[in-house]
Structure 1
Amino acid sequence: MPDAPWHSAPTHDFDATPWDGDTLHEECGVFGAVGLTDAANFVALGLHALQHRGQEAGGIVSYEAETGFNSARRFGYVRDNFTNASLMQTLPGSLSIGHVRYSTAGSKGAAIRDVQPFFGEFSMGGAAIAHNGNITNAEALRRELIERGSIFQSSSDSECIIHLMARSLQRDIPARMEDALRRVEGAFSVVAMTRTKLIGVRDPLGVRPLVLGRLGDGWVLSSETCALDIIGAEFIREIEPGEMVVITAENGVESQRPFRPQRSRFCVFEHVYFSRPDSIIGGRSVYETRRQIGVELAREAPVDADIVCPVPDSGTPAAIGYSQESGIPYAMGIVRNQYMGRTFIEPTEQIRNMGVRLKLNVNRALIRGKKVILVDDSVVRGTTSRKIKDMILDAGAAEVHFRIASPPTAWPCFYGVDTPQRDKLLAANMSEEEMRDHLGVDSLKFVTLDGLYRAVGEAEGRNNACPQYCDACFSGEYPVEPADQIEKGFRMKTAAE
């Protein structure tokens, strides 16, 4: 689902937008449950654990024989909406799916009609779907469907799946979903439901995550394992790339392979930033992988300093790893205000100019007179990094050295991550030394792509002939051609680059 690219004029003024736009956002998380009494309550808890994947809006659909399909979609946090007892009573049944959203494809700040799950009524019964990822040929599909009479209700690319299902001639809903998804290009992890079935599907490359869990006699599907933990479910396994599972309370899990087998290209940035550190990906602790990135950084980019400080919270595990490997003490030099949400109201220009200070504060007594290594997960536009550097220097630091726990982000993602256009990405327009000067720090180093691959368990680093992950945001090598973006004028990486 990425949103249409930012519509500002082409310019390299990297300070032109508010600091909160200087972060990459995953666009959503999905969760589903079958065979559980009041399944929607479990879905609400699962979505709460996945809130980091989408903080703009959430929705839950359930099915119960007497009342049929029931739906609730709300803007805001899960905790502010789906902990309401009277609302949850409107979502009865032992089968339910849910979705949390950060708008990427479609309009930002869109209407409630853009909030998933989406629902469709077919001749053989209703179905609801929740989608994590991005359909890279959605605009072409949308034009085709509209020309054939489809009427779209939302601006989301995910709605294409429902319309493709409606036009399929297959006789049951799972088969219609297979039919629809064979027309779709890009990245998708889908959780869907009929009156009796919970369905989970991953795209053939497995770009976005999806896992299977067991709770008593019931089954759950989730974007991450941390959401299984909150309800006490047992992690069974990951849904494999290109796999579809159809789950019923009576027959359990049935697996099928509707797509041509392809080499997996899981999103490496899930390891770096998107997934919660207490989740497990590919049998590896996300926390341990991020700590190991810090170890690689310390080996690749040592520097004489007094303390290692994370930019909270995403830089913390890598900072710990850097400290452990380098022997330089770890310190909480920056403290995050845990009570500032995304919905903070900024009523005056003076408050808006406070920017990052609303969210982070420097531990002055610790920083004063020190040579400081700041460890962060990424640099996007660089606006936040500059402001954090200024705060550290204002607190009396002698030197500031940035160490970044990912390679330079030089290319936009088209597979479900909200990124600026390429001309807004600092690393697309500057060398490492130019970025260092732009940020005004004493040194700036990124972990190498090989170092990142070693940290995620690839001892030999990146296989350049056949990469093990999707790393297009770093390398510019897109495993699925972004057809819609190319049509709009996006230029793919050339051999010379």
Structure 2
Amino acid sequence: MPPSHPFDDDKLREECGVFGVVGVADAANFVALGLHALQHRGQEAGGIVTHDPDQGFNSARRFGYVRDNFTNQQVMDTLPGPIGIGHVRYSTAGSKGNTQIRDVQPFFGEFSMGGAAIAHNGNITNADALRRELIDRGSIFQSSSDSECIIHLMARSLQRDIPERMKDALRRVEGAFSVVAMTRTKLIGVRDPLGVRPLVLGQLGDGWVLSSETCALDIIGADFVREIEPGEMVVITAEQGVKSHRPFEQSRPRFCIFEHVYFSRPDSILGGRSVYETRRQIGVELAREAPADADLVCPVPDSGTPAAIGFSQEAGIPYAMGIIRNQYMGRTFIEPTEQIRNMGVRLKLNINRALVKGKRIVLVDDSVVRGTTSVKIREMLLDAGASEVHFRIASPPTAWPCFYGVDTPNREKLLAATMSEDEMREHLGVDSLRFISLNGLYRAVGESKGRDPQAPQYCDACFSGEYPVAPSDMIEKGFALKAAE
């Protein structure tokens, strides 16, 4: 079974990371390294598919971490060839705990013109409707993943090659998708017309790489070339290099702003901007908008660290590691006993007592989702002798669920959906609580005038409730969109 996450249930989770390479010897080794660098995007399961001219397509799919599964030479020896793709995943909220190995990507399909494998990051918002249609027309699904719809749509296309069939399929799909796919000789990358989820292109000697983030290029020594543009498809071969296609009608891009806040690794580059520097700048904006009279600025590690540094620098309050993270949690407590579970975040975080005793603490975190972890950390700080606790949050209140590839609780479980900022402060029991404003967040990511309410530059639906693509499946189930103001 996949590892559970009993101590991280108060964080939003990106659901997937994708990686692919063509034109290199032993492609699977590079894919495994790339997936290891993308492990933060999905820690439940991973898979690799390769193709070898002599042995054909081969795949390996496993639950757990990349390091536990794809450093085994016996496994890697079963994945020969100069082309390969891989995927790491979390399950969606609806299927968590019920994941089967058949749900683990990449998915593979055999077509009349040859086989193809596909790995998908994002979420198809009309997947239920597509699945019903496809089943009514005779398709037999092997998984519960919405991504499998793409394979079935490709199978029903009348186009004569796989890239054209993929164009046909993705034109039927709504929502967010960054796709990495492969045939026997071609590596294919596609972003949806809004470019909600990231995808980048790199070069490794004479070979080419596609990845969810630039940090995975670094680990294999590949050079960053550019981002795949919103609405673009690239078809790459070792012989002919990169060919670009535009299969969709052009739309105004709406990249996920939460990638800047939390999902992406701080050593990645997004939109030409350092993720670390953006997060530090969020802390600067937060200090300007919500100053605090305090003795120390402390991050909730590790995601709050860059913003805490920026807050400290702008406010002139010393930065300190008041909370220490246990870096060796790993999978030690896959099946925790009730007694261990009740210990909660103490297994993951510990207070630096000598530092915080008698001090007024500004605690900087990336987000507040349910608030359960925030309450426990406040209790731990006060137990350790802190005189005051002031929360500063490096994102606006998360009041709406994401339907584009992020594991978000139901709206009624989001603290900001039912409480005002003052009510949340009282609920958390802290001396003060402030979130960065949506305009402040936009300034931190480089939009000097803040958010344009008529034409937002990013997807910020989790904060604003304004969905750039209507979540049609959820609306059908009764989800109520935000009323027009």
Scaled by the length of structure 1, the TM-score of the pair is 0.96
Which SS does the other structure have where 2:439 is aligned?
A: helix
Superposed CA offset, 1:367-412 (max 9, x none): 0000000000000000000000000000000000000000000000
What CA distance in whole angstroms lies between the structure 2 residues aligned with 1:89 and 1:146? 37
Q: 1:105 deviation in Å?
A: 6.8
* Greater CA drift, 155-164 or 347-356: 347-356
Q: Which amino acid aligns with 1:50?
A: L
Match of 2:176 in 1: 187
- The residue correspondences of 1:123-272 to structure 2 (distance < 5 A) are 123-272=112-261
Match of 1:3 in 2: none
Q: 1:344 deviation in Å?
A: 1.8
Which of 78, 96, 99 is residue 87 of structure 2 equivalent to?
99
Match of 2:61 in 1: 73
Distance 1:485 1:430, change over 3 A: same
Matched, 1:434 2:386: no
What CA distance in whole angstroms lies between the structure 1 residues aligned with 2:170 and 2:52? 27
Which of 440, 443, 446 is residue 435 of structure 2 equivalent to?
446
Matched, 1:319 2:320: no
| Root-mean-square deviation (Å) | 1.0
Contact 1:106 1:155 in 2 (8 A): no
Q: 1:345 deviation in Å?
A: 3.3
What CA distance in whole angstroms lies between the structure 2 residues aligned with 1:344 and 1:233? 36
Contact 1:409 1:474 in 2 (8 A): yes
Matched, 1:36 2:24: yes
What CA distance in whole angstroms lies between the structure 1 residues aligned with 2:107 and 2:94? 14
Q: 1:341 deviation in Å?
A: 2.0
What CA distance in whole angstroms lies between the structure 1 residues aligned with 2:141 and 2:168? 19
Q: Which amino acid aligns with 2:14?
A: E
Contact 2:323 2:352 in 1 (8 A): yes
Name the count of aligned residue pairs. 480
Matched, 1:467 2:467: no
Match of 1:411 in 2: 400
Q: 1:349 deviation in Å?
A: 2.0
- The residue correspondences of 1:285-300 to structure 2 (distance < 5 A) are 285-300=274-289
Which SS does the other structure have where 1:21 is aligned?
A: coil
What CA distance in whole angstroms lies between the structure 2 residues aligned with 1:105 and 1:420? 7
Match of 2:96 in 1: 108
Matched, 1:21 2:16: no
What CA distance in whole angstroms lies between the structure 1 residues aligned with 2:410 and 2:7? 16
Q: Which amino acid aligns with 2:290?
A: A
Contact 2:466 2:482 in 1 (8 A): yes
Contact 1:105 1:155 in 2 (8 A): no
What CA distance in whole angstroms lies between the structure 2 residues aligned with 1:352 and 1:49? 29
Which SS does the other structure have where 1:245 is aligned?
A: strand
Which SS does the other structure have where 1:373 is aligned?
A: strand
Match of 1:45 in 2: 33
Q: 1:86 deviation in Å?
A: 1.1
Superposed CA offset, 1:320-360 (max 9, x none): 00000000000000000000025623543221110000000
Match of 2:45 in 1: 57
Match of 1:402 in 2: 391
Distance 1:286 1:430, change over 3 A: same
Superposed CA offset, 1:308-330 (max 9, x none): 00000000000000000000000
Contact 2:93 2:408 in 1 (8 A): no
Match of 2:74 in 1: 86
Distance 1:153 1:457, change over 3 A: same
Superposed CA offset, 1:181-200 (max 9, x none): 00000000000000010000
What CA distance in whole angstroms lies between the structure 2 residues aligned with 1:347 and 1:459? 47
Q: 1:19 deviation in Å?
A: 4.8
Contact 1:310 1:333 in 2 (8 A): yes
Superposed CA offset, 1:215-240 (max 9, x none): 00000000000000000000000000
Scaled by the length of structure 2, the TM-score of the pair is 0.98
- Runs of at least 4 residues off by over 4 Å: none
Which SS does the other structure have where 1:140 is aligned?
A: helix
Contact 1:105 1:134 in 2 (8 A): no
Q: 1:56 deviation in Å?
A: 0.2
Contact 2:61 2:101 in 1 (8 A): yes
What CA distance in whole angstroms lies between the structure 1 residues aligned with 2:80 and 2:444? 44
- Counting aligned pairs with the same residue, the percent is 84
Contact 1:168 1:176 in 2 (8 A): yes
What CA distance in whole angstroms lies between the structure 2 residues aligned with 1:140 and 1:345? 36
What CA distance in whole angstroms lies between the structure 1 residues aligned with 2:245 and 2:137? 31
Match of 2:320 in 1: 331
Distance 1:139 1:342, change over 3 A: farther
Q: 1:428 deviation in Å?
A: 0.3
Q: Which amino acid aligns with 1:61?
A: V
Unaligned runs of 5+ in 1: 1-16
Unaligned runs of 5+ in 2: none
Q: Which amino acid aligns with 1:236?
A: V
Which SS does the other structure have where 2:208 is aligned?
A: strand
